[in-house]
Amino acid sequence: MKRWYKVGILVSICFVTACGGKGGESGASPTPEPKKDPFTMTIYAAGVKPEEFDSRFRETLERKFPHIKFEYKTNTAGNALKDLVATNSIPDLIRTDIPGLLSGYLDYQIGEDLNPYVKAHSYDLKRFNKVFIDEILEAAQSDALYGLPVPPYFPQVLYYNKGLFDRFGVAYPTDGMTWDDVYELAKRMTRVDGSQVYRGFSSATGTVLRDNTLSMSVLDPAKDGLADQTKWKTLFDNLLRLYQIPNNKIESTSALESAIFGKGFSAMNAASHNIYSVIPPEVDWDIVSAPVHAGGPKLMGQRGPAYWSIANTSKHKEEAFEVIMAMLADEVQLQDSRSGIPTVLNNKSIQNELGKGHPVYGTKNMKAVSFYEPSMYPTKRQKGLTPVADGTQTNLLNDAFRSTAEGKVDVNTALRQLDEKLKQELEKERAK
């Protein structure tokens, strides 16, 4: 699926000396590096198919570390990380993420602080977007660095159906639009043609709300219940008005709502750029930057990346960090970027290559992905306070919004109910 970007460097150094009337003598050959003992390193990444790991990383690793045999595992039946921990078969390297950093890594007491390795290798953390480094530091609730970010992350964009805009003679959306612009455009594009309704707007509602540009937390970081209900009302009201446009009714389930754009019946769709989500080829689509709030921060909502972490039980921790550095090298991330995978680096030249080597993304406005800088992550729960799983928070948030979009309750009632349900979840957690 992805090709490798190879860089070869050949350096030849010749020393020639002359002594009296004798001919020149070549210098001594450099001392070869001592042969390294072979060993096996196990790498674990839940949710990532072996084919993806092989196409993105294996060739680079086997070329750079010929003495290491790389064994790859993912969460197949009986191979979840908890199973491997229970059988003392803990991998050397683990792909972690922010939602599961505590419950799926640190709670197993296998966390390894990468700060000493960063220092020993003079590894520049500033090459990464600061948001991604800051988030894992805050999520760990300590000064320890428990992972380095690995693409992809999931930036929000606005998809649009070029065919529908052409059909109805309306100009395409553009980068830099506000939600007000999208609202007006959605009104123009919502049509009924015979028996077919063409919606002006659809969205992945849970994603749009969770990854908001105001960086609003769902669960209050400092106390029990919903964070800042006034700001959440602003976010709900903003999205709700689009679903109150006549004939732009939200679909009956979140899955159907997310699928309507791919069926060709929605003119615009707010969602993440996601390499794992494929739009059918019969839809002639493109993207522009995600809309921003008028007067609000000009940032791009985003869901952060996963991270490469080391298990403190590994017998090869130093080599494991070297392997991480190889997988996050510029040449690997360049090839990722060309394949449509957004880089976690600040490197503009790599960002600008996004999708250029992909048969579909190469025809799209991929600069929309980096039109704005990524937004800050929502503030995490304070250390010592009972948490609620991110997935649970997102589901409750999405359900609350859908209840308003479906006309079951008003926004104030939906937010009050969300606050109550979050408190109920906290009580469940405390009862465990």
Task: Identify whether the C-beta of residue 268 lies closer than 8 Å to the C-beta of residue 189.
Answer: yes
Q: Which of 236, 238, 247 is nearest to 187 (CA)?
A: 247
Instruction: In whole angstroms, give the CA distance from residue 362 to residue 17.
Output: 55
Give all domains of the chain, ordered by start, each with its CATH number.
Answer: 39-153+303-367 (3.40.190.10), 155-302+376-431 (3.40.190.10)
What value does the mean pLDDT take over residues 224-229? 97
What pLDDT does residue 20 have?
39
Q: Is 247 left (phi over 0), alpha (psi -120 to 50) or beta?
A: left
- pTM metric for this prediction: 0.89
Q: How confident is the model at residue 35 (pLDDT cuts 50, 70, 90)?
A: confident
Q: How confident is the model at residue 1 (pLDDT cuts 50, 70, 90)?
A: very low
pLDDT per residue as tens digits for the range 339-356: 999 999 999 999 999 999
Residue 108 has pLDDT above 70, yes or no: yes
Q: Which of 103, 115, 97, 204 is nearest to 153 (CA)?
A: 97
Residue 14 has pLDDT above 80, yes or no: no
pLDDT per residue as tens digits for the range 379-404: 999 988 999 988 899 999 999 999 99
What pLDDT does residue 126 have?
97
What pLDDT does residue 26 have?
43
Q: How confident is the model at residue 31 (pLDDT cuts 50, 70, 90)?
A: low
What pLDDT does residue 28 have?
53
Residue 11 has pLDDT above 70, yes or no: no
Residue 299 has pLDDT above 90, yes or no: yes
Residue 8 has pLDDT above 50, yes or no: no
What pLDDT does residue 10 have?
32
Say how many CA atoms lie within 13 Å of 341 toward its Cβ. Answer: 21
What pLDDT does residue 97 have?
95
Give the chain's mean pLDDT: 92
What pLDDT does residue 17 have?
35
Share of the chain above pLDDT 70, in %: 92
What pLDDT does residue 22 have?
39
Report the range of poorest mean pLDDT among 10-24, 230-244, 249-263. Answer: 10-24
What pLDDT does residue 34 have?
75
Q: Which of 170, 168, 113 is nearest to 143 (CA)?
A: 113
Q: How confident is the model at residue 432 (pLDDT cuts 50, 70, 90)?
A: confident
Phi, psi (deg, nearest 5) at residue 6: -110, 140
Of the two residues 7 and 38, the one the predictor is more confident about is 38
pLDDT per residue as tens digits for the range 134-162: 999 999 988 999 999 999 999 999 999 99
What pLDDT does residue 383 have?
87
What value does the mean pLDDT take over residues 116-122? 98
What value does the mean pLDDT take over residues 313-336? 98
Query: Across the chain, which distance is largest between two alpha carbons, in Å?
Result: 102
